[in-house]
């Protein structure tokens, strides 16, 4: 695409139309392109590099907890999908079916995996024999397909990339511990690496995963006040084990059903990065996940020594582990600034003849646009310090945003008023009856996001029906 | 699976039944398991760890040549697959078709990608505008599906993992250079990292990729004398560009069609590692690709200080970058030895009370079974030296095997005699006529593996028809 077409048109502002802003950013920051298959996306280099960094960070953490990677087939025979009743009911309406292999019809339809519980269970039923084999903690990185009606890049697409961990344990307690452990891995990753604060909690039965005994979730709040389910961890109890016959022989030679978990995070989280941190100039990527952390932009680059100096700064920063590039293309500096802002590069460094003479450079923060004069002798130390500061400040700002957009409601009038007029989370009590969730969804489109681990008492009674409350729930409109 | 079931039964010997030996190794070394979908496989941790190492090595090399990773959709609409005539003819008979999304039939069938030329072309036609955009060098890591009738783990399965690089260039020369460059990346990787020597050359028109102008290949020779096509790199010329309308505006403002390449390597290469290096005790993995390079096996591990010493050796080797583990399970040392041999771990270190007293340990090479007494004070240096030696020796042995199983033939009687009685490559001249390839295949089941870059003159005439020869060809029976 001709360079000047890319960035000269401004993107829609967030205030004007948040959905259009999102679509503009996704396209103009060159994260994705639409594909010829409706509802699928082409993930472009800038988008995929983000996913590679996410993979690397998560994969390292998984392996530290004893997880090993495997690869299961793409296809699930229809009869296998049907083995666990709740599971098939949840997924069958949205799977893609393969009916022909080559020129011939298949004897049995195969669905393209929407998730792989059934495949892992079919594998584990033979693989697990003795208590010595447990726990078995496998994960796979792959794509899955869900035939959604309405789609949006990263947030809801017919195919998306993710990881799905599947573990088998001897006891209910071990399975519960692993479920919570992985939720904490996700939560720490979001907060520490992506600078996205999350609410940890348990899903109500209405919102839990098809076939799970309990689903835990991390919920993040986007800039527009809508919630994004950002990662889930499921405890299956022994439900799948019973449906598939996954048993082990204990030390005392008795047979027991296994207890299982699964947990996943997907490319959806890239939508979260965009909607938590982005602004009207484009993406803002947290330093710890940025494919390029520093872009050196030479000013008057045709003047003698400027490009050489820019390259020298790059070399120096590379040596201390910064991900740094030089933009030595023949675009104007102003254009390069706009381009790097659109792409969300955390820091740009401007260096021109006058700076060189003064032994300085200008460091500009993407998140605040603050310009910082840095002595060249202090380049490495200052750059790393500023990257750390950006990372901390981004998390802090996002936390403040959540705090400022979290409300509470003690009765239904209050609840409806807040949920309809103040985008954000609403904390309110619930009786535990699904009828109240259904009514709230119908009246307001809001859903229960989670029953947070950190419970508070907002009132004594269910915000909807007025009966005695059992749980405090975070409610919100969600992606 | 109960431990003692895993290794007590010996595997079939290579001499007795090479195909059964292969299947036994693949299963007993726990690389794969069969899946409930016929012709698909479950890649288990030991197999997937190999693939992760292959990915890491190749991905690093790709990026050094300016390649960026992307992700294209899993599905190709039927009409898109049909855009390039030769391509669709080559692939349509072996694709899986999705006909239903959720509960509804699709308006247009989608095939599950057997390869992604058509998707990349559909993307490039909008993405490439100006000479400034070129070259564009993208790659993706994914799975592809080909509905094969007969399948074997890693070698030919209905779904396999691979990478596929797709590049767009301004000139025919640039495309040709990239095609050869990537073939060399594959060849160097096979030789230096996998210790697999390869023949580099060009495929005949009969054997080239559907839609390619030229296909280059690296061909390896397995232990049983059969060839394995181990990686291919295709020059498409401007054929796909014309079919899809991929054009760029040159500096002088004229429109030109682009020139393209694609290149791929798959999990098939794991079959190559097994069949080049394995022996009757199981896998033998080259140190540079081994997930575990050193297994420390304590002898009389219940005696005081033995386990502690084993862990100490592990810590010391970890510090110098070795991939090392301790097998402190309660199996017998003899069982552990057999297990590590089956898994192909390059080195085992035995350490017991007497060794500790003598300040020594025993290092055992997997490839030669040589036992080397090493002073504990020299542990790090000696271990690394032995790993390097194993890597070199494995390549050298494989090279000798190729040399000892490469024959030549000047006339058809000789050719048929050699190809039927002496498993290996046969170098022989060819007139360039496909009829001779067809006849040779019908008479002997052998195929032209490649026209090697390093040409020799074996005789003046085609080994089949006797007409004047134009090329020397490597012939062989192949996987």
* A440: confidence class by pLDDT, cuts 50, 70, 90: very high
- Boundaries of every domain in chain A: 17-277, 292-388, 406-476
In the predicted model, is pLDDT for residue A1 greater than 60?
no
On the question of a cis peptide bond just before residue A135, with omega within 30 degrees of 0, the verdict is yes
CATH top-level class for B3-277?
alpha beta
- Closest alpha carbon to B38 in A106, A105, A141: A106
pTM, two decimals, is: 0.96
Q: CB count, 10 Å around CB of B436?
A: 22
The pLDDT assigned to A220 comes to: 98
The pLDDT assigned to B87 comes to: 86
Q: Nearest residue on chain B to A89, judged by CA atoms?
A: B102
**Hey, what are B201's tokens?**
């050359």
* B4: confidence class by pLDDT, cuts 50, 70, 90: very low
Please give the Cα distance from B461 to B221 (Å, whole number): 26
Reported ipTM: 0.95
> Hey, of A59, A73, A251, which one would you mutate to test binding to chain B, going by the most B CBs within 10 A of its CB?
A73
pLDDT tens readout for residues A106-128: 999 999 999 999 999 999 999 99
Residue A283 · residue A50 · CB < 8 Å: no
In the predicted model, is pLDDT for residue A152 greater than 50?
yes
The pLDDT assigned to B1 comes to: 38
B43 and A71 within 8 Å at the Cβ level: the answer is yes
Q: Nearest residue on chain A to B144, judged by CA atoms?
A: A74
pLDDT tens readout for residues B70-96: 999 999 999 999 998 888 888 888 999
CATH top-level class for A17-277?
alpha beta
B41 inside 8 A of chain A by CB: yes
Mean pLDDT of chain A: 96
The residue with tokens 């109240």 is A436
A99 and B99 within 8 Å at the Cβ level: the answer is yes
pLDDT tens readout for residues A2-53: 444 455 467 999 999 999 999 999 999 999 999 888 899 999 999 999 999 9
pLDDT tens readout for residues A365-377: 999 999 999 999 9
> Hey, of A2, A42, A146, which one would you mutate to test binding to chain B, going by the most B CBs within 10 A of its CB?
A42
* A187: confidence class by pLDDT, cuts 50, 70, 90: very high
Q: Is B351 helix (H, G, I), strand (E, B) or coil?
A: strand
B98 inside 8 A of chain A by CB: yes
> Hey, of A27, A32, A48, which one would you mutate to test binding to chain B, going by the most B CBs within 10 A of its CB?
A48
A48 and B71 within 8 Å at the Cβ level: the answer is yes
Phi-psi region at B282: left, alpha or beta (left = phi > 0; alpha = psi -120 to 50): left
The pLDDT assigned to A92 comes to: 86
Rounded to the nearest angstrom, the minimum Cα separation between A128 and chain B is 6
Counting residues of chain B whose pLDDT is more than 90, the rounded percentage is: 94
> Hey, of B70, B246, B329, which one would you mutate to test binding to chain A, going by the most A CBs within 10 A of its CB?
B70
The pLDDT assigned to B10 comes to: 80
Q: Which CATH superfamily is domain B292-386 in?
A: Anticodon-binding domain (3.40.50.800)
- Partners of A255 in beta bridges: A249
A33 and B3 within 8 Å at the Cβ level: the answer is no
- Highest mean predicted confidence (pLDDT) among A6-10, A102-106, A465-469: A465-469
B33 → closest Cβ in A40, A99, A123: A123
Interface of A with B in 56-75 (CB under 8 A): 68-75
The pLDDT assigned to A3 comes to: 45
Please give the Cα distance from B73 to A267 (Å, whole number): 14
B112 and A98 within 8 Å at the Cβ level: the answer is yes
In the predicted model, is pLDDT for residue A221 greater than 90?
yes
**Hey, what are A322's tokens?**
């910064």
Residue B325 · residue B313 · CB < 8 Å: no
Q: CB count, 10 Å around CB of A355?
A: 20
B458 inside 8 A of chain A by CB: no
Report chain A residues whose CB lies below 8 A from the CB of B138.
45
The pLDDT assigned to B9 comes to: 65
Please give the Cα distance from B405 to B349 (Å, whole number): 35
Pick the CATH number of A292-388 from 3.50.50.60, 3.40.50.1220, 3.40.50.800, 3.50.4.10: 3.40.50.800
* B7: confidence class by pLDDT, cuts 50, 70, 90: low
In sign, the C-alpha dihedral spanning A321, A325, A326, A332 is: negative
Q: Nearest residue on chain B to A45, judged by CA atoms?
A: B70
pLDDT tens readout for residues A163-175: 999 999 999 999 9
B35 inside 8 A of chain A by CB: yes
Please give the Cα distance from B348 to B324 (Å, whole number): 9
Phi-psi region at B367: left, alpha or beta (left = phi > 0; alpha = psi -120 to 50): alpha
Provide the CATH number for the domain formed by B406-476 in this structure.
3.30.110.30
The pLDDT assigned to A7 comes to: 53
In the predicted model, is pLDDT for residue A386 greater than 70?
yes
For the segment A285-298, the average pLDDT, to the nearest whole number, is: 98
Report chain B residues whose CB lies below 8 A from the CB of A129.
1-2
The pLDDT assigned to B329 comes to: 93
Return the DSSP state at B469.
Answer: P
Please give the Cα distance from A346 to A369 (Å, whole number): 10
pLDDT tens readout for residues B53-65: 999 999 999 999 9
Maximal CA-CA distance, chain A: 81
Counting residues of chain A whose pLDDT is more than 70, the rounded percentage is: 98
* A87: confidence class by pLDDT, cuts 50, 70, 90: confident
Return the DSSP state at B193.
Answer: I
């Amino acid at each position: 695409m001709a360079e000047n077409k890319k960035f000269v048109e401004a993107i829609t502002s967030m205030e004007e139309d948040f959905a259009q802003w999102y679509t503009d950013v996704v396209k103009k920051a060159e994260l994705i392109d639409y594909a010829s298959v409706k509802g699928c996306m082409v993930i472009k280099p800038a988008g995929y590099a983000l996913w590679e960094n996410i993979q690397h960070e998560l994969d390292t953490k998984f392996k530290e907890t004893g997880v090993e990677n495997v690869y299961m087939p793409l296809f699930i025979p229809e009869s296998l999908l049907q083995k666990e009743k709740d599971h098939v009911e949840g997924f069958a309406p949205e799977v893609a079916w393969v009916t022909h292999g080559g020129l011939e019809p298949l004897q049995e339809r195969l669905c393209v995996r929407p998730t792989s519980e059934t495949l892992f269970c079919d594998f584990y039923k033979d693989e697990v024999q003795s208590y010595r084999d447990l726990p078995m903690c496998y994960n796979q990185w792959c794509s899955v397909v869900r035939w959604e009606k309405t789609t949006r890049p990263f947030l809801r697409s017919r195919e998306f990339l993710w990881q799905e961990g599947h573990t088998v344990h001897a006891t209910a307690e071990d399975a519960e511990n692993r479920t919570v452990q992985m939720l904490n891995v996700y939560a720490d990753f979001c907060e520490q690496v992506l600078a996205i604060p999350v609410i940890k909690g348990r899903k109500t039965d209405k919102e839990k995963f098809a076939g799970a005994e309990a689903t835990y979730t991390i919920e993040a709040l986007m800039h527009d006040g809508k919630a994004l389910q950002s990662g889930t961890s499921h405890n299956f109890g022994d439900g799948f084990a019973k449906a598939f016959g996954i048993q082990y022989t204990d030390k005392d030679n008795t047979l027991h059903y296994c207890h299982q978990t699964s947990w996943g995070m997907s490319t959806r989280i890239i939508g979260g990065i965009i909607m938590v941190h982005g602004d009207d100039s484009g993406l803002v990527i947290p330093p710890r996940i940025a494919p390029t952390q520093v872009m050196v932009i030479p000013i008057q680059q045709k003047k003698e020594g400027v490009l050489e100096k820019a390259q020298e700064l790059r070399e120096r920063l590379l040596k201390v582990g910064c991900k740094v590039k030089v933009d030595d293309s023949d675009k104007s500096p102003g254009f390069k600034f706009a381009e790097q802002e659109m792409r969300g590069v955390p820091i740009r460094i401007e260096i021109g003849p006058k700076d060189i003479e003064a032994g300085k450079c200008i460091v500009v923060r993407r998140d605040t646009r603050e310009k910082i004069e840095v002595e060249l002798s202090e380049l490495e130390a200052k750059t790393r310090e500023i990257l750390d500061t950006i990372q901390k400040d981004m998390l802090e700002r996002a936390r403040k945003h959540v705090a400022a957009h979290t409300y509470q409601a003690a009765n239904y009038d209050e609840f409806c008023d807040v949920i309809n007029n103040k985008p954000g989370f609403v904390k309110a009590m619930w009786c535990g009856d699904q009828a109240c969730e259904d009514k709230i969804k119908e009246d307001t489109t809001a859903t229960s996001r989670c029953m947070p681990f950190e419970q508070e008492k907002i009132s004594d009674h269910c915000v909807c029906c007025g009966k005695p409350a059992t749980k405090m729930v975070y409610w919100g409109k969600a992606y």
